[in-house]
Structure 1
Amino acid sequence: MPMILVQVLFKCIPLALTKLLSIIYLLTKAKKLLIHAISKTMRTLVTLGLFLGILNHLKGQDIPKSDSLNTQNSDSVKTQISTAIPDSTLEQPVSETEALKPVTNKAESEGFTGRFLRAFKKANRLYDEKAFGDAIEYYTRARKQIESEPELLSKLGDCYRFTKNNKGQLDCYGTLCQNGNAQPIQELYYAHALMESGSTEQARDFFSKYQNDERGKRMLKAIEKAESYKRNESEYQVNSSKFNSVQNDIGAVKYRDEVVFVSNRNPSPWVNRQSSWNSGGYFNIYKTNPSGQQKPVKWGGAMSSKYHDGPISFNSNYSMAYITRNGNYNEDAVDKKMYKLKIIEASLTGDGKETELGFNKPDYDFCHPSISANDSVLYFASNMPGGFGGMDIYKVKRDEFGFWGQPENMGEKINTPGNEIFPFAAKSGALYFSSDGQDGLGGLDIYIAKLKEDRITSVYNVGTPINTKDDDFAFYLDETGKSGYLSSNRKHGGMDDDIFEVKITGDPRYGKPATLIMVDKKDNHKLDSVEVVINGETLYSDTAGKVSVILEEEPDYGLLLSRSLYLPEQDSIHPKTISDEQFVKTYTLELDPKLAINGRVIDSKTGQSLDDVRIRITDILTNAEVQTHYTKSDGAYYQTFKGKRLNQKLVYFLRIDKPGYLQHTQILDTIPVNPGDMALETKLIKVELGMDLGKMANLNPIYFDQGKSKIRPDAAIELDKIVSILKDMPQITIELRAHTDCRAAAASNLSLSQSRASASMNYIIKKGIDKRRLKAKGFGETKLLNACACEGKTKDTCPESEHAKNRRTEFIVTKIKPAIITPAPGKKP
């Protein structure tokens, strides 16, 4: 009967596991030696098939061959931590015989040789085979014989660490530390365990000893930032999912209308395939509905293999899946080398073809794939050489022909000497991942990396309630970006992981907290209700004058501050230059002095107030037109200068005009020293027949070279002023009258003056004035303004200055048409 049972079991259960073999052993004592050999082989093969040890490998736990501060086989990693802890302190791998020598000697001296050594040797063999869950039992037996043996406590502490038993770590590593037998790395392990248990201050003491090590530095930073991790607590809801089991359930993602996740629950009561890492079952991919009302079912076919399957990621149309899977079982390769993880691309349509991605390497692990929203970039975790230590996050791009390129490390902003795993590419463009090397709350924490143009701009801890002191990982959001899942052992601790539903109910912000304080310039009292517009978002200061904001490292922030009765303020903040975790800046607001022009316009001849006068005001410093006013019946207008301060230079250009009057221009150039109004009176000149526009407009004399009529540059400037008047007053016609002094022959002077008048008129015509509005006439020396005649017997005795008065050009108004008056706004024509 026993042999028949053995045959049945071997047919039904591929690679029968340790528990069944132990039953067979009890039933078939006659086959003891054979079964013992099979059991040992099975344990090795099962161990080879792990995700580096069930969930610990799913979480990216490294499996050290020595307890150095970093357990990767990369020399560069060891170099990174050498400044923190000398190489001489790192435990080197030793043979089982060498390891047992000091323990054996102690055991012999204390009389526990046989019982102790049997348990200790058995535990060490299991430890070497990575069967940490089984090893704990035998180390515990041995410990009963020799309570505080350092070698035993070190190995037992490691077993507890690999199986996520924090209480056990505190016991073993704590005893080593208390007895003075702890290596530096074990002190760090103890500090992490203290952190996870909530003993923050005790953890700080140990982390402080290793401030030159990146992990010690990061964890000290995390302790200081503990309060800031609670910032977004009200923005999330986290609840246990309805499809959890008593086993491990992780990595939930959406698949069409279903939820797909990974679990090591036992799908059959008759078959119990287990792993020796922690005596748990193998991980398989399951499907269920989001409500959890449907019993989860194992996804068979291409989604199922002999060993661990998952986590999984789907492309945008669910036609392709990317799966983590451990290497195939090979009977000829039975040794102590772990089978490595690899990423499989599986078609979910047609023949369900599976393809091992070309960048997988047999000596390293490639796991936790996540495809980007546009299906062009695959993110994953790997411990391949060239990283920063532990597991690192990588990305690989698909080219235009559909082929994957070479993996690229995501760099030091994301990766640390610890483990970075479970990347998730959100539809928003952000990259989420888990890490035990970044500053955090303890264990694995979830982080968000902001990307801009394929460049990482910033990385932030997502904070509570997403993160806890336990392991939090496998974060996922659906296409809405508002709901998803995460995995965590927060409920029961240890290796018991569950899936939690996530709802984003608010607007979580990540970055550097900043406090902006608003005060009055005069007496420094706090100002509430100050409007703060920061990159388009409007906030208001509270009764303490404070505005609290979260600043991401990029972009820079522009601020506009305003409050009733106060002058506005502008500023910019450059978060990259801010080193403080809590940025505080005080802004001083000044009461508005209410600077203004209290103006009035009158007729220059009668002194009467003029209504409907248009006043256009331009800020010369900015070349911006400030405002246009129209005077009332009392000739008044009022212009305030918002935002202008006392003792600040004001330079404004005023253009004042009214139909039938010469336009008046004026520059207001002043530095006000007192608040309030500045009085300004303007006199407009009414245009009348026979008026000389040149004189009214204060033109400078128009000069010509001696005996010439060509318009000189200085004359052109003055003629342009006449052009401007004519354009402003299209209803007037003028006559250009040119005069000379008495010197030279009268006939010659008459001819020259006519030429000069004509030249001036032609210049004005070329500037766009209708020639029908212009007439040119030369008067020679016939209309002298003084007694400086010099014809005939009259002797010239006048100085040059008197002769200059006679050399002139006049712009006489000869006709005025009725003006077409445009009424001021709000008035009828």
Structure 2
Amino acid sequence: MKNFNTLLLITLMSSFCLTAQNSDTKKADKHFDRYEFVKAVDDYNKLVEKGKADSYVYGQLAESYYNIFNTVEAERWYAKALETSNDPEMVFKYSQMLKANGKYEASNNQMDKFTTMRPADNRATAYRANPDYLPKILDQGKKFNLQNADYNSEQSDFGGILNNGNLYITSGRNNSRKNYGWNDQPFLDIYTVAKNSDGSSQEATLANNKINTKYHEGLVSFSPNGKTMYFSRESYFEKDYQKDSLSSARFSQLYLFKATKLGDDWDIVESLSVNSKSYSVKNPSVSADGKTIYFASNMPGGYGNFDIYKASINTDGTLGEPVNMGQKINTEAQEMFPYISSNNTLYFSSTGHLGLGGLDVFYTKEIDGKISTVRNAGIPINSNADDFAFIIDEETNQGLVSSNRAGGKGSDDIYEFKKLEPLCDVLVIATVLDDKTREPIAGATVALFDTEGNKVVSKTTDTEGLAEFMIECEHDTELEVIMAGFDSRKVQVKGSNEEENNVQINLDPIEKLILAETIDLAPIYFDFDKSNITTQAAFELDKLVQIMNKYPEMKINAISHTDSRGLESYNINLSDRRAKTTVQYVISKGIDEARISGEGKGEAEPKVDCSTGCNKAQHAENRRSEFIIVDSLQQ
């Protein structure tokens, strides 16, 4: 917005080279070459403590931790090694560890480096195609089409709301009005705009003098039946203003008024009880049920200059006490122009939340007294200018937004838009139960993952076995549930438009995984031609660790298999590496190495016979690990 509306409505890296193995690293390297990564870590760390570490040792430490999926330590040592490295693969792995630890921005920075190093690499091209695996501001631009409205003038035009077929806007186009000194434009008035059958607009019509005065009038909202208008007006008209004792200048506030429809026009204008000559109230928006009014105010007790408030509308038309919408919505800066839609999504403009510049439009939802994540509406709704007075018809997905962005007709213009994709939040309620007793499990860890497999947030279930998450609707997610003494589970959560998505997760006792001769884990699959522990493998192996901790006499033989692609001798060696890496992961979790051994079978014992050909999924089934109990259980 231009100034007068602001007063009114806002009052390069060095090369990395591995040194040759030497007497200092010989012992650690031997463990590393044997895939004894836990011992390798101990020995490399001792070199660090003795001050005998160099880029080679840091890199080996990182690789050791990477292979046993200790992401925190792997991140630490990759960072240290990369102080003197220009190795693309190390940069890529560092990026993956950062992402695994929830450091998405830092991960993206490393991927940016990787793509410049290896622009033709498939990983680089895939990243460039979709660099933001979590919702980002600019991604929202796919959700709207937007165009400048044909009823804008060369003066300021903003707002806009339909009532009984007429569009009510605020405009400074009335040249018969006295100009406002701040920008030498006329004071603002409320106009109506009727639409022709072909969709074009008729000439804007000035509302009557019961609504408009010689001073400023602002945004408009209506009761559900359309017979009560709520609008902003300067307090000058009420002769209610303050005088500066030094300059004798007069300062008015913004007040809220309501008018009643009598016949075909508006009459009986009344000041609302929330007004005060000590502060402003403005930008009204009435809920679809007519029971609540939202507005902006700089009244004392807020979080910033202007905050978003709400108040009940009583049956007699009076208002209840104003309630601040809270710190999740309101910041130390400016929050204004609330609009509550028919599905109770609250849209508003802010300079305090992260945006593209100036005022940006944001949205959130209040569900059972809880405010969901505040999100930026993205481009083209938002720009690097001021973007405000957003409204939308949730049934037709059509709406209006105002902006002073470049390319408009006047200082502020109204833009019409069509929403193309959903823009909302879903409350996911996870209930964790004991499958045997059907009693709730308190203290279970429930983690939420996005569609890229990144952990977004983790919570602990309460005494009723509940953990709640706010997610964007239409987005598939995954929940991971871990509880001592129980078999951990992962549950897919399908994207939804519903306000709530209830997910019940039943956990079996961990003993259910113990069969007569084996531990019945989900298959431990490896990527093609790889032997490092993956996220999914770590999830399953942690169950084995839990069982072995509970039964300290248990001994396990981990047998690894490959698919039939590649030479038989190569597959034997590959499966042996996978078995040893699996064993090392379990040892890294505190299990005595005497209790677990590993063995590679290569392609000799396939789960799926691929002699006549197999698809990708069938080959993956053959790349697995099995866990044989080699000693009897003792409690």
Q: Normalising TM by the smaller chain, what interval?
A: 0.3 to 0.5
TM, length-normalised to structure 2 = 0.47
Larger radius of gyration: 1
Higher helix share: 1
Q: If the length of structure 1 is used for normalisation, what is the TM-score?
A: 0.37
